[in-house]
Amino acid sequence: MISVLLVGKGNVATHLYNTFLSVDTIVFTQISSRKLEHIPKADITIIAVSDDAIAEVSSKIKNPFVVHTSGSCSINELKNATNKGVFYMLQTFSKDKKVDFNEVPFCLEADNESNYLLLEELAKLIGKKIYAVNSEQRKALHVAAVFVNNFTNHMYKIGNDVCNEYHVPFEILQPLIKETALKIETLSPEKAQTGPAIRNDKRTIKNHLDLLNNEQQKIYKIITKSIQNGN
């Protein structure tokens, strides 16, 4: 049996709450980060609050082992006087969509071996994909996630804008979007690259630029150049 205290009521906390409740071997309590007068004891205290609140909330907790769930904060942003760790789940959590925790990578860190094993034990009770990731690696993952998620989504946005401009349904592109993402499971992005930039097909590139507005052209040019330079 592992006892877990979850501090926070936000998006990540809610998804964790639902999955913890479904496991018999987890003794589980949840409190709001605004009510820290009486803090229940627990083997692992998970602070699932905004990055800015981690220091303050953790400073008020005297439980033996306190972890946060942030991708961009170092383990040292925890200000409790006891042991520290990180329980970072790298996935987009949407409010109304159920999360399949078997598909969520758990990126774990702790300030000593036995605490790491305790975190791993907890993660294995709700998920399958477990990784030891230190604070520097987690920061790198967080930047990489911005590229593959936020920036990729912006590529979809520009594709959508071009479709709207020329009155063609964006849904035509959806099978391609899906296939592009699935391809990367078996092929490196470098090997998966196709299109006019990598072929240096100047005629097609010129034709494309003619169809775009100024802002879209800037992005088209810089990414095309980056593909051609291999960086």
Residues 115-174 binding a second copy (CB under 8 A) are 129, 131, 133, 136-137, 139-163, 165-170, 172-174
Which of 18, 22, 193, 200 binds a second copy (CB under 8 A)? It is 193
| Number of chain positions touching a second copy (CB under 8 A) | 87
Q: Which of residues 211-230 bind a second copy (CB under 8 A)?
A: 211-213, 215-216, 218-220, 222-223, 226-227, 229
| Burial group, residue 36, by CB count within 10 angstroms (0-12, 13-18, 19+) | middle
Residue with tokens 């860190």: 109
Q: Shortest distance, CB of residue 185 to a second copy, whole angstroms?
A: 6
Is there binding between residue 231 and a second copy (CB under 8 A)?
A: yes
- Length of the chain, in residues: 231
Q: Which is nearer to a second copy, 117 or 222 (CB)?
A: 222
Going from the C-alpha of 167 to that of each of 156, 210, 215, the distances in angstroms are 16, 17, 20
Torsion (CA) 224, 153, 168, 192 in degrees, nearest 10: 50
Q: Which of residues 28-57 bind a second copy (CB under 8 A)?
A: 51
Q: Shortest distance, CB of residue 41 to a second copy, whole angstroms?
A: 33
Is there binding between residue 198 and a second copy (CB under 8 A)?
A: yes
Helices (H), the chain: 11-21, 54-59, 113-126, 135-145, 152-165, 174-183, 189-192, 196-199, 202-211, 214-229
Q: Which is nearer to a second copy, 40 or 207 (CB)?
A: 207
Q: Which is nearer to a second copy, 24 or 136 (CB)?
A: 136
Going from the C-alpha of 10 to that of each of 57, 93, 166, the distances in angstroms are 14, 11, 40
**Bridge partners of residue 3, in order along the sequence:** 27
Is there binding between residue 14 and a second copy (CB under 8 A)?
A: no
Q: Which is nearer to a second copy, 25 or 231 (CB)?
A: 231
Q: Shortest distance, CB of residue 46 to a second copy, whole angstroms?
A: 20
Reading phi first (left if > 0) and then psi (alpha if -120 to 50, else beta), residue 115 is in alpha
Q: Which is nearer to a second copy, 22 or 193 (CB)?
A: 193
Q: Which is nearer to a second copy, 2 or 173 (CB)?
A: 173
* Whole-angstrom distance, CA of residue 108 vs CA of residue 85: 7
* Whole-angstrom distance, CA of residue 15 vs CA of residue 5: 14
Q: Shortest distance, CB of residue 16 to a second copy, whole angstroms?
A: 17
